[in-house]
Structure 1
Amino acid sequence: MGIDMATNGTQLPEKQKAAQFNPKDQTVSINEIPIPSIKPHEILVKVKSASLCHSDLMLFEPNEQNLTLGTGAPFTMGHEACGTILQLGSDVQGFEPGDNIGWLPIVDCCYDCDGCQVHNLHCENGTPQVQGMSVDGYFQEYVAIHWRNAAKIPAGMDLSTLAPMFCAGCTAFNSVTDTVAELKGSEPAETWVAVVGCGGLGHLGIQYLKAMGYKVIGIDLSPDALEEAKTQGADHVFNPGTEEDYIAQIKQLTGKGVHAAINYTNSVPAYSSNPSLLRTNGVLMVTGIPQKPLQFSAMDISMNRIRVRGSNNGTTPRLRECLEFSGKYGIKPHLTRYRLEEFGEMLGVMREGRGVGRLGVVFD
């Protein structure tokens, strides 16, 4: 039995609408489903906003990442969301009804093993699943989440646009802080970082880098994304589709090449060109996940001409750090809002690469 103190006596509805993916025919429809009942370790949340991530498109595409993305009944899409606690399971610790929270999407993991300290998908004791990728996610008004995935949102942050923070935001934050750790000893004001892909992840990565004082070059094929990059503070932007000599221009601008490049794209050609951007011993941060394997020169890596590292959305302690930093420095996602009934249109915009920033549903 959950503790319920946030509904002020209001009876919750029995049903809700949800944007669901059908694995059998790879279609999406708005279905009516029950309000979830929470287990002792779960929190019932009234969702304020939920947003699309580019990795949601993996549901519709074959992949070579050994990801199983739903095999049975329809399930609710979405793994980025935030909202307000309505009910607490009996085992929940550190939260109260009425708290504003965001959360990470991995469930059926132990949270305590060595694998979970790296990423909950590496759990050695459970069978991890991603909410929104194989079990119900967050494009529905009421969701049940594991309390150990949750983090409180600092006062003053706008829940109606904050959903992207809980995948795009924390991934961008972790990629930047992991890059900074590799650049230890470098003076930020004299250090160049290329952000490759200035969309949903990149526009947040630029904000984090500028908040930390770094010089930023934005690289993207979309003129709209490059305008957004400039709005978020990028010092220079380049379009490889229209500026064939952009690598030479960047080397001239930076002297020897950038100190680091953070790739947020799912483009193999973009990754293939990244080593050419880097100065000797520069860092390539692998963050975006293409459907095809990447190839890098073993000589370049073994001789330390480049350093290849990886970063992801991380674990709950890192999510808390991201929220604290974002609240302090006013980091905000750019969210284009849709209604749940417009989910198909929103999905089409993302699939065609026409969106700027992030796309999401805001609930009343």
Structure 2
Amino acid sequence: MCTERMATNGTLPSKQKAAQFQPKDQTVHINEVPIPSIKPDELLVKVRSASLCHSDLMLFEPNDQGLNLGTGDPFTMGHEGCGAIVEVGSEAQGFKKGDNVGWLPIVDCCFECEACQVHNLYCETGQAKVQGMTVDGYFQQYCAVKWRNAAVMPDGMDLDTAAPLFCAGCTSFNAVEATKAELNRDPKETYVAVIGCGGLGHLGIQYLKAHGFKVVGIDLSPEALEEAKAQGADHVFNPKTDTNYVEEVRKLTGKGCHAAINYTNSVPAYSNAPDIIRYNGVLMVTGIPQKSIPFSAMDLSMLRLRVRGANNRRTDQLRDCLAFSHKHGIKPHVTQYKLDDFQQMLDTMHAGQHKGRMGVLFD
């Protein structure tokens, strides 16, 4: 992969292909677009791989979460990517040409306010945007990223498969770390259910097993459960076919799992999760349904259930995720496509017929 600012004529090409969302009719087209020019606080990266997140499907579906997605002019999709720096903005610190980097997708935030310390999307400026959701993202060969969002990848980490770590991976990692801290008990004597064993869940299982937790995988997809077992899940259940799975889970765990991490966007999955969690157990809210999720005030007030949340957080947590992933050999399972086959990749995700993550591998 090229890591210098050059093409065959000694300069960057002026144009590139990109998978762009068309807000007017909610379709995706492969368009020819300019190579971006970077601002002083940005890095120009030659993308090696970009991956599709289930959140990308929110562009095509209504939601009641107050998210205003996919409006205005066409923009390049994708908020998970990694590659090599070809140009460094004058204000960027700690980066050089040739560095392999990945990054978080929030732009037009201040990075400094109290809200940004929780999540940059809440920035008090009110201007924060998600690359790939409202402004250009990463399904293109060259992209501009904010240097404060970026992290240099550990030596030896594979660019071809690492893209999912920069949303699915860090979200899964943060959910596991938050669960571990909330439980504060010996992982070897602790059962954690992973609800949704796909893009985020198959990584969550790896992080949990690296800590020594006992893992119960739950999913409606046989392919996802097959991947869960491959990643080390101790037990797996399909509520569609294992009709007594609640009783079975409670029996094998004693009184129920000590925690459950829901990586799905399913309201029924959230509604059913308390049934497999023991008293005063933890439900980690990670997946975001299109509709609101109900919880019993009695359950929360009486400590029947502790509800917590996790997300991709900030760049310092991203660095922790990369270091942990590299140390423990945690890798996304990625099925690669060509950019011209983007619609096929979208259709496969819509149908739920994939294992792990899917992405585009650039030359």
TM range (shorter): over 0.9
TM normalised by structure 1 equals 0.98
Give the distance between the partners of 2:22 and 2:66, measured in 1 at CA: 19
Partner of 1:347: 346
* 2:319 matches 1:296: no
Distance 1:264 1:65 in 2: 17
1:125, CA displacement in angstroms? 2.4
Note the 1:104-183 alignment, pairs <5 A.
104-183=104-183
Q: CA deviation at 1:8?
A: 6.0
Taking the TM superposition and a 5 Å limit, the aligned residue runs for 1:286-325 are: 286-325=285-324
Q: Counterpart amino acid of 2:250?
A: K
Partner of 2:5: 7
Match of 1:237 in 2: 236
Other-structure match for 2:77: 77
The answer on 1:277 being equivalent to 2:276 is yes
Q: Distance in 1 between matches of 2:157 and 2:61?
A: 35
AA partner of residue 116 (structure 1): C
Distance 1:68 1:154 in 2: 35
Deviation at 1:7, TM superposition (A): 2.9
Number of aligned residue pairs: give it: 360
Deviation string for 1:104-127 (max 9, x for gaps)? Answer: 000000000000000001101240
Q: The residue matched to 1:19 in structure 2 has which SS?
A: strand
* SS of 1:29 mapped into structure 2: strand
Q: Does structure 2 retain, via aligned residues, the 8 Å contact 1:219–1:226?
A: yes
Amino acid at match of 1:85: I
One-letter amino acid of the structure 1 residue matched with residue 359 of structure 2 = G
Counterpart-to-counterpart distance in 1, 2:6 and 2:154: 23
Contact between 1:175 and 1:312, CA under 8 Å: does it hold in 2?
yes
Q: Quick check: 161-170 or 118-127, which moved more?
A: 118-127
For the 8 Å contact 1:110–1:126, the answer to whether it is kept is: no
SS at match of 1:94: coil
**How far does residue 6 in structure 1 lie from its aligned partner after superposition?**
2.5
CA distance in 2, matches of 1:68, 1:178: 28
Contact kept, 8 Å, 2:194 with 2:217, in 1: the verdict is: yes
- List alignment gaps of at least 5 residues for structure 1: none
Q: Distance in 1 between matches of 2:254 and 2:92?
A: 54
**Partners of 2:330 and 2:71 in 1: how far apart?**
37
Give distance in 1, aligned partners of 2:198 and 2:69. 24
Shift in Å, 1:293: 0.5
Distance, in Å, in 2 between the alignment partners of 1:69 and 1:63 is 9
d(CA) in 2 for partners of 1:175, 1:137: 24
Residue type of the alignment partner of 1:84: A
Q: Cα RMSD over matched residues? A: 1.1
CA contact (8 A) 2:6 2:12 kept: no
**Displacement of 1:71:** 1.5
Normalising by structure 2, what TM-score? 0.98
Q: How many angstroms apart in 2 are the aligned matches of 1:244 and 1:98? A: 53
**Residues in 2 aligned to 1:259 and 1:313: alpha-carbon distance in whole angstroms:** 23
Instruction: Return the offset for 1:72.
Output: 1.1
Question: 2:70, 2:226 → 1: CA distance?
Answer: 36
